[in-house]
Structure 1
Amino acid sequence: MPSGAGTGSGCAYWGSDCSRFQLASREPPEKARRMTVVMVGVPHPVGAVRCSGNRDAPSRSCTLRSRRPTERGSAVASVTPLGEFLRSRRRAARPPAAPVSTGTRRRVPGLRREEVASRAGVSVDYYVRLEQGRETNPSTRVVAGLSAALGLDDEEAAHLRVLTRPETAPGASARSASGVSGLTELVEHQLTDPAILLDASGTVRAGNRGARRLYGEDVVGRNVVAEVFLSDESRSFYPDWEAAARCSVGVLRTSSALFPEQHDVRETVAELTTRSLEFRDIWNQYPVLRKGSGRKLLHHRVLGRLDLAYEALESPAAPGLQAVVYRPWNLAGPDGT
């Protein structure tokens, strides 16, 4: 837990009292609008997103309301998650320096399949089967060889291990009622800094007073990933929108591997893939990220520019849920903790 969280007055971080958190009065929210997008090749609408709130409010809320995506209407690739990840990292890997005497140009980005296979110590045929989804259970030695061959960082290597051993991922079914209620109690009543409880799909399940004043009174039930890509105000709310977008997709990518059985995660991915070209472009780049601790810059219509440190707290008894706590960056340590 961040130093000072849960003790003393969190309002001291933000001014003499909590009044600076109070949102400006707003007109009654406009009627939630329903947007139906028809994609080329899809003969009927595949769902809708509902955004509510006045355009002049500090933030608008977006929740997903969709029909179950059909195979025909989904833009998500049909390859296995393992094959998709290997292909993305092979294409992003730096190829070896070509001999000057060859005079040939590479026709594919990144590494060729035979180059990955050679580096990893496996046959080309075996590696091709991995990418095509015809082989899904490589040994620990092969996984380590692939991580080295593709130059994966620690988070990417951990993601590869989850994809090859999905049975080791902490499924949401392992949650206990006491674990969920414990995190909810922590967020709603014990933390004095702004805090929200997020599920694996990015939906806010609980929030305290500071979170409601930071994100709006209707923060509970909103999907933070959807708002980055679908809210009218997201680009002004996040000064570095590109970084916020990539971070959101990276966390959702990781969640989709850790909790493949969760319908909410699959629905969020399918809905945003259909409705946002920017989401689809970043999703196809396959960033992976575990939400731990870091820095977040926001531009709030009432509070102005906010430079915040955040930390995500988890409980082994409630996999898939994270309590995310915010406090001013200038009161955090050198690493934001």
Structure 2
Amino acid sequence: MPGLRREEVALLAGVSSDYYIRLEQGRENSPSPQVVAAVAQALKLDAEATDHINRLCLAASQRPHDVGAVDVSRQLLRLMDGWEHTPAFVLGPALDVLAGNALATALHSGFDRFDNLARMVFADPAGREFYQEWERAAHSTVAEIRAAFGRDPESARIAEVVAELSAASEEFAGIWRLHEVKSKTQEGKHLRHPQVGDLHIEFAAFTVNGAPHQQLVVYQAEPASPTAAAFETLRTTATAAGSRQARTVMPVTDFAVHEN
């Protein structure tokens, strides 16, 4: 914690300095819930960060196993198909886009690939145009992956995405070192699409029943707003192009940064 030495954190948490150092370095395998709570309080962590370190401190036998690539259910694909006026897509823990409906695909058509949100933010030059508040999007994206890592520290896919983006983007690597934690919930976004211009959307993310490692993300526009009109333009374009059904997206692992 900035401003506090290890010895001071240990004192506030009621543990020895040696024990706290072992805990910080990952050499203390099974701290008690009381110790974890005391350290979180000493560091003045918020509820989400406290939950994150609690998950990290679980014994290895208690941690979830890496689920790997799992298909999106047909029922969910059909549900997204029915939302012709609403962009919707499904994310995996490493922010891989597992499936998206026609409007979601059209909304992200300015990117080289609609495959992984983290790659799109950090390794595709379109990201800085699409996300008008790019710094906010960048920190939020890394914090979401950090939260997923806390839920499944053994995930090979999360480790792969982190390693490749850390090598491809100094900005990703720098934010990753901050250890910020945040799960995708609900908030507004300001976006800019190359064809329809500026968009103001509200989004919500839902855990998929029966596949808790998947999240359904839904974008909404205020009725009768310019964004709603832009969505209709994108929908019409997608329909004319013959893209009407939700499609699955295979994760791509080449995260090399594109040159402008």
What CA deviation, in whole Å up to 9, does each residue of 1:291-315 have, x standing for no partner? Answer: 1111111011112111110001112
**CA-atom RMSD in angstroms:** 2.6
Q: Could you say what secondary structure the match of 2:99 adopts?
A: strand
Quick one: structure 1 residues 175 and 244, their matched pair in 2 at CA, closer, same or farther if it must change by over 3 Å? Answer: closer
Query: Match of 1:13?
Result: none
Identify which of 166, 189, 198 aligns with 2:91: 198
Q: Could you say what secondary structure the match of 2:77 adopts?
A: helix
Distance 2:161 2:91 in 1: 14
Identify which of 311, 317, 321 aligns with 2:204: 311
Unaligned runs of 5+ in 1: 1-89, 92-109, 332-337
What CA deviation, in whole Å up to 9, does each residue of 1:158-209 have, x standing for no partner? Answer: 10111011655554539987x8444334334457411011111111111112
Distance 2:222 2:47 in 1: 26
TM-score computed with the length of structure 1 as normaliser? 0.61
Which entry has the higher C-alpha Rg, 1 or 2? 1
Q: Could you say what secondary structure the match of 1:285 adopts?
A: coil
Contact in 2 for aligned 1:314/1:321 (Cα 8 Å): yes
Q: Could you say what secondary structure the match of 2:154 adopts?
A: coil
For the pair 1:244 / 2:124, whether they are aligned, the reply is no
Distance 2:110 2:56 in 1: 38
Query: Match of 2:26?
Result: 133
Identify which of 170, 173, 180 aligns with 2:67: 173
Distance 2:70 2:194 in 1: 39
Query: Match of 2:162?
Result: 269
For the pair 1:114 / 2:10, whether they are aligned, the reply is no
Unaligned runs of 5+ in 2: 225-260
Distance 2:73 2:114 in 1: 16
Quick one: structure 1 residues 230 and 116, their matched pair in 2 at CA, closer, same or farther if it must change by over 3 Å? Answer: same
Distance 1:113 1:205 in 2: 42
Identify which of 198, 209, 214 aligns with 2:102: 209
For the pair 1:283 / 2:193, whether they are aligned, the reply is no
Quick one: structure 1 residues 327 and 190, their matched pair in 2 at CA, closer, same or farther if it must change by over 3 Å? Answer: closer
Quick one: structure 1 residues 303 and 222, their matched pair in 2 at CA, closer, same or farther if it must change by over 3 Å? Answer: same
Query: Match of 1:17?
Result: none
Q: Could you say what secondary structure the match of 2:188 adopts?
A: strand
Distance 1:230 1:124 in 2: 41
Give 1:35-50 correspondences, 5 Å limit: none
